[in-house]
Structure 1
């Protein structure tokens, strides 16, 4: 796959290689989607106990592993944006541990800035795709995506000494190991479902450019809207329309999205689509977890 990525950047054959990579990824996703729910279960944190689990996982990743934030006495990483966010997590069914989390932050007035606006506003230079150009009730930010080290490592990353976070093949099956790299993609798809359910179609995120490029092979096409800055590493602001994301997904990843939505409905965080939505009309799902305010726009 690494050689294919190199060829994908070539001017003449790059287009063909990219299509081949997308096809390979889609076929693999079809297989993964059949196994994903056997080992991993996406859920929305619908009560305080689940949210505290999310905050502890974020502390583990952002404070203890990556050292992006200072270690807290509470061993929970949370901030002022959490009260107006929907929190999603993925639970590993075998160990009951959280395998990843992401939040979707909303805004209902010009005074409720997205983190990207508040901390990285100077990086946004797109004349049209700025959060300020959309009604506040229609924007959101994908934030605090975190996957702990033991679910980021694969069998090939193991080494002697039982280092913290190394995968133990006696604990995780080969099929489970194949699913783990899809946890981050699963979280982006869960964020898509949460954006659709709240009609916050205009999504923003700060991410590494190389991650944005990799996600295009899945059909998740983030559009750059500003320059790269130093923010916990090289990051740039990106925009995505949740409605277009669903339309651009390859068939394999569309199946994975449907699996994610099914699990989120079972968790009590999403309501099933209505009959009209099932017939291909607006697929927006209603939220029962978001703190709604009347829009000031």
Structure 2
């Protein structure tokens, strides 16, 4: 492989060598994607119990580890945006533990702001694209991605930013997929699946520029739409159209997305059915749980 990398820099044979490297890398990603599906499963936090699992992971990362938020006696990190959010978890199902979480914050009216609209309004004023330019039902924000320390024990995962999804550019190469943080990428792809299945066409996220660069390795190309500002570190507003972003995924990661989407599509439909029932009939939780026993009849949960 070192020979191929050297050849890829040559003027004539370079493009051929680069294509071969890409082919081998995609083959390796496909292999790891199958491995991902054997041990890790995406799970929508439909029940209160699963939402609490998400909040505990966030507290572990954002309060205990990073100190971005104050520690809470409950051991759960929550804010005012939870009622308008869809929460995703990655389950390490052989042990019934959760390896990460992310949320998709929705908006159904101009009064229902996204987090970056409330906390980064100055930056948004200078943005080339803003949530206010689109229909509110079609916009969202990805936030609170967190991977607990117990799933970052490998030496290659011990670097600044791993807890919130950054890929280490110093150790990653197209042919060294063992260094790749698949849990974090799986969370982004799970969020993308939720967006597509809910008909969300415009996604915003406040992230570090290096995290945006990290996503380029996968083929997820966020567009920076505003200046860098100080918000838990140097961050800027980014934008992506979910369906277009998925079209640009590298081949191997497209397979990973397809597997994640197969798991989540039915869960999103169930979530929509529950929400429709609550709106239409205003049924109390015990009636909804009787109609949809899969929401509460989950395996005994174990904390990370």
TM-score bracket for this pair, using the shorter chain length = 0.7 to 0.9
| Greater helix proportion | 2
1:290 Cα deviation after fit: 5.8
Report the equivalent of 2:46.
46
List runs of 5+ in structure 2 lacking aligned partners.
Answer: 2-8, 159-176, 280-304
Report the equivalent of 1:269.
267
1:155 Cα deviation after fit: 4.4
1:93 Cα deviation after fit: 2.0
Q: CA RMSD in A?
A: 3.2
Say which SS state the counterpart of residue 237 (structure 1) adopts: strand
1:217 Cα deviation after fit: 2.1
Report the equivalent of 1:96.
96
2: CA distance between counterparts of 1:76 and 1:48? Answer: 12
1:287 Cα deviation after fit: 3.8
1: CA distance between counterparts of 2:267 and 2:186? Answer: 16
Report the equivalent of 2:214.
214
Quickly say closer, same or farther: Cα 1:52–1:20, change in 2 above 3 A. Answer: farther
1:145 Cα deviation after fit: 0.4
Say which SS state the counterpart of residue 80 (structure 1) adopts: coil
Q: How does 1:26-175 map to 2 (within 5 A)?
A: 26-124=26-124, 125-127=126-128, 129-156=129-156
Report the equivalent of 2:200.
200
Contact 1:152 1:180 survives alignment (8 Å): no
Quickly say closer, same or farther: Cα 1:66–1:261, change in 2 above 3 A. Answer: same
Quickly say closer, same or farther: Cα 1:26–1:117, change in 2 above 3 A. Answer: farther
2: CA distance between counterparts of 1:116 and 1:18? Answer: 39
TM-score under structure 1 normalisation?
0.76
Say which SS state the counterpart of residue 200 (structure 1) adopts: coil
2: CA distance between counterparts of 1:18 and 1:54? Answer: 41
Which structure has the greater CA radius of gyration?
2
Say which SS state the counterpart of residue 187 (structure 1) adopts: helix
2: CA distance between counterparts of 1:189 and 1:197? Answer: 12
Say which SS state the counterpart of residue 181 (structure 2) adopts: helix
Report the equivalent of 1:280.
none
* Offset from partner CA, 1:101-121 (integer Å, 9 cap, x none): 000011111111100111012
Quickly say closer, same or farther: Cα 1:65–1:189, change in 2 above 3 A. Answer: same
TM-score under structure 2 normalisation?
0.74
Say which SS state the counterpart of residue 267 (structure 2) adopts: coil
Report the equivalent of 1:174.
none
1:223 Cα deviation after fit: 0.2
1:150 Cα deviation after fit: 2.0
Contact 1:21 1:217 survives alignment (8 Å): no
Contact 2:127 2:227 survives alignment (8 Å): no
Say which SS state the counterpart of residue 221 (structure 1) adopts: coil
Number of residue-to-residue matches in the alignment: 252
Contact 1:99 1:148 survives alignment (8 Å): yes
